[in-house]
Amino acid sequence: MNTQHRPPVIDMTPEGEFRDPVQPRAMSGFDRMLARIGGVAMLVALGAAGLALAGLAVLAISVMLPIALIAGLIGGGSLWWRMRRAGPGGAPPVRFVFIRR
């Protein structure tokens, strides 16, 4: 980043004198290596978090699927039982009654 775009830093001592700004330290090879390792570590952490979320989604589906199957079997059994009780002719026809006044 150029110093032209940075706002000026005004550093004043308790006596009222201004201090010269401290020049930033140049990054050494070790610092660059640590920055690169930190970036790779962040990518690995994000990937692990994504896998954990995918695992939670699979877990949720594996819990909900048997519940949905059991509910479907109960609903299907209920419909089968009602059709069996209605007999071969089925349920009696529905009649609509209109009352005129």
Whether the per-residue pLDDT at 4 is higher than 70: the answer is no
Whether the per-residue pLDDT at 73 is higher than 60: the answer is yes
Residues 45-56: tens digit of each pLDDT: 999 999 999 999
Q: Where are the beta strands (DSSP E) in the chain?
A: none
**Total-model pTM:** 0.50
Residues 51/58, Cβ–Cβ less than 8 Å = no
> Per-residue pLDDT averaged across 63-85, rounded?
92
Query: Which residues does 19 contact at the CB level (< 8 Å), separation at least 6?
Result: 11, 12, 13
Return the percentage of the chain with pLDDT > 90, whole number: 49
Q: What's the chain's length in residues?
A: 101
